[in-house]
Structure 1
Amino acid sequence: MRLLFAGTPAAAVPSLEALLGSRHEVVAVLTRPDARSGRGRTSGISAVKARALEAGLEVLTPDRPRDQEFQARLAGLAVDAAPVVAYGALIPPALLDVPTHGWVNLHFSVLPAWRGAAPVQHALMAGDEVTGATTFRLEAGLDTGPVFGFLTETIRPRDTAGDLLDRLAVAGAGLLVQTLDAIEDGILSPVAQGTDGVSHAPKLETEDARVRWSQPPHVIDRRIRGCTPAPGAWTTVPDGSRLGLGPVVGAPDVTDLAPGEVRAGKRDVLVGTAGHAVRLGDVTPQGKRPMAAADWARGARLDGAVVLGGVA
């Protein structure tokens, strides 16, 4: 089949690679416009755009998919299907039926669980033991379209969102190719999603990644891992600056610390919670590079009672 591939971040690159090596023809790639970042506001291209240019593919970067110029180009490409992996913008209803077989989305959850922009992060924070990936046909609703296929993936005890997404991106790429093969062969039709187990996974904002030390330690652990690497868990130190938090590296049987209270030793840093304390792993002081928590504590010269997070 002739394909338009839509995707933006690194998690979409395995799918593009798999399609380039498949029996199908990727005739163009749709990705988000170049983003400006850093103090110099330098322009950076998406991971998908970089791979597409390397492969010599036509790259389309409309500000919005409803732009008339993009709509005209989509019609001119005459694609049979448009596989989508984390593109990052809504496809207008008027364009959903332009490809012969529609837009086939690879979503990183087992739908109808965790519909939305951050399914992997929310699955981790909720303490799910199993997640997966689903291929489905886009429709006007958010991740509500009929399902072609799915796979499952066990969530490991120390997984971060980055770890889990890396595995799902690779496994999901195979599922996407299998789905498109079966659609072309005429042996696969989508099945409507069930109504049980619906949950939602909106995009995580910076405030969502703030650690509340008044919560139980297992909740804190899940939030930090779910926000790693992005948007990045954090707390505040007494001077009001932010301290980035990597995954904790243990939960010792220490219960005499108040929520947020710090106990710094030569080799570890403990912080109180609503239950037993947690042992910090790497931390990132504001404006600095990541470092071991014990190194940070020595440099910060923590004297007396120190409480992280302001209001616990």
Structure 2
Amino acid sequence: MRLVFAGTPEPAVPTLQALIDSPRHEVVAVVTRPDAPAGRGRHVVRSPVGALADEHGIEVLTPQRVKDPDFLAKLTELAPDCCPVVAYGALLPQVALDIPPHGWVNLHFSLLPAWRGAAPVQAAIRAGDEITGASTFRIVKELDAGPVFGVLTEPIRPQDTAGDLLARLAVAGADLMVSTLDGIEDGTIRAVEQQEVDGVSYASKITVDDGHIDVTQPALAVDRLVRAVTPEPGAWAEFRGERLKLGPVTVVDAEALQPGEVKVERKRVLVGTATQPVQLGDVQAPGKKKMAATDWARGARVEQGERLS
């Protein structure tokens, strides 16, 4: 099939590469978010998807708004049979959805209708789900509510961060998208409407404030939250009035501490929660590099009774 691919961040790259490599499909153009400042120098850079398209000599379209007449005219001129989508990052108006005969097919990193929305992987980890997955579905006006073509499942491992899990789903999801488009071209796959009687949940966009850990919660909840916001936007707590960034923690069987209380031992640093303590992994103080919690505690000269909040 003739395809126009829409996507922006790194998790979309495996699917674009798989479609480029597929002998059955031709990616004639890529739609991605406009180049944006990134890194310490705030230099304007191409999105990961746009960069891969450039490497393969594929035309890159970066509309400010998908409903812009010039973009819609260009999309019509390209005449795609279908538009596969992975984490594009902008809403698609109906006028754009109507252009390809086979519609826009999205790869979403959850088992729909669970965790519709912007941050399904983070939500699944934070909720303590044991199984998640990915779904391909036809995009409709309502958020992530279109009929589903195919799914795959993936266990959530006890130590998975959002970054770990998303990386695995991105690779497995690429194969799912290719097989979905193969089936659409062959007429051997049928989209099934989502069951909305139960099981619908929503995963809103994660913000920096969402990374603030609540030490009055049970240890398991603290662990899940930290893993859910790692690597982005990152977990943090306040210490001496400043933000202390936290890497993944470990729930430990140790003597209970008051919520937020910091206990420095020779080989580990513990923090109290509503249940058992958690052991800190890497931490990063303001203006400092990331370091082991024990090194931070020695340098900061943490005193008995001090707390994270």
* TM-score, normalising length: structure 2: 0.97
Structure 2 residue aligned with 1:272: 272
AA at the equivalent of 1:232:
G
Distance (whole Å) between structure 2 residues aligned to residue 63 and residue 282 of structure 1: 39
AA at the equivalent of 2:227:
R
Moved more, 177-186 or 32-41: 32-41
Distance (whole Å) between structure 1 residues aligned to residue 285 and residue 44 of structure 2: 26
Structure 1 residue aligned with 2:172: 171
Distance (whole Å) between structure 1 residues aligned to residue 34 and residue 51 of structure 2: 12
Structure 1 residue aligned with 2:284: 284
Structure 2 residue aligned with 1:19: 19
Distance (whole Å) between structure 2 residues aligned to residue 187 and residue 205 of structure 1: 41
SS at match of 2:203: coil
Q: Give % identity.
A: 60
Structure 2 residue aligned with 1:205: 207
Structure 2 residue aligned with 1:122: 123
1:241-280 alignment, distance < 5 Å: 241-255=242-256, 257-280=257-280
Alignment gaps of 5+ in structure 2: none
Moved more, 2-11 or 245-254: 245-254
* Shift >4 Å, 4+ stretches: none
1:82-93 alignment, distance < 5 Å: 82-93=83-94
Q: CA deviation at 1:266?
A: 2.1
Structure 1 residue aligned with 2:219: 217
CA RMSD of aligned residues (A): 1.0
Structure 2 residue aligned with 1:62: 63
SS at match of 2:245: strand
Structure 2 residue aligned with 1:96: 97
Q: Per-residue CA shift, 1:271-309, capped at 9, x if unaligned?
A: 000011110001111222211000000111112321111
- Given that 1:252 and 1:279 are in contact with CA atoms closer than 8 Å, whether structure 2 keeps it comes out as no
SS at match of 1:124: helix
AA at the equivalent of 2:229:
C
Alignment gaps of 5+ in structure 1: none
Structure 2 residue aligned with 1:303: 303
Distance (whole Å) between structure 2 residues aligned to residue 241 and residue 37 of structure 1: 25
AA at the equivalent of 1:96:
L
Distance (whole Å) between structure 2 residues aligned to residue 153 and residue 269 of structure 1: 33
- Given that 2:138 and 2:149 are in contact with CA atoms closer than 8 Å, whether structure 1 keeps it comes out as yes
AA at the equivalent of 1:3:
L
Q: Per-residue CA shift, 1:74-125, capped at 9, x if unaligned?
A: 0000000000000010111111110110000000000000000000000000
* TM-score, normalising length: structure 1: 0.97
CA pair 111-280 structure 1, distance change in 2 beyond 3 A: same
Residue 72 (str. 1) matches residue 65 (str. 2)? no
Q: Per-residue CA shift, 1:181-221, capped at 9, x if unaligned?
A: 00000111211100120000010111111000000000000
Q: CA deviation at 1:250?
A: 3.7
- Given that 2:251 and 2:276 are in contact with CA atoms closer than 8 Å, whether structure 1 keeps it comes out as no
Moved more, 186-195 or 141-150: 186-195
AA at the equivalent of 2:249:
V
Distance (whole Å) between structure 1 residues aligned to residue 254 and residue 269 of structure 2: 14
Distance (whole Å) between structure 2 residues aligned to residue 51 and residue 290 of structure 1: 30
Distance (whole Å) between structure 2 residues aligned to residue 39 and residue 276 of structure 1: 38
Distance (whole Å) between structure 2 residues aligned to residue 248 and residue 303 of structure 1: 21
Moved more, 172-181 or 34-43: 34-43
Structure 2 residue aligned with 1:182: 183
Moved more, 82-91 or 245-254: 245-254
SS at match of 1:230: coil
1:36-47 alignment, distance < 5 Å: 36-38=37-39, 40-47=41-48
Distance (whole Å) between structure 2 residues aligned to residue 31 and residue 120 of structure 1: 21
Distance (whole Å) between structure 2 residues aligned to residue 130 and residue 104 of structure 1: 23
- Given that 2:117 and 2:144 are in contact with CA atoms closer than 8 Å, whether structure 1 keeps it comes out as yes
SS at match of 1:153: strand
Structure 1 residue aligned with 2:31: 30
Q: CA deviation at 1:44?
A: 2.0
Q: CA deviation at 1:252?
A: 2.6
Distance (whole Å) between structure 2 residues aligned to residue 183 and residue 93 of structure 1: 21
Distance (whole Å) between structure 1 residues aligned to residue 261 and residue 44 of structure 2: 42
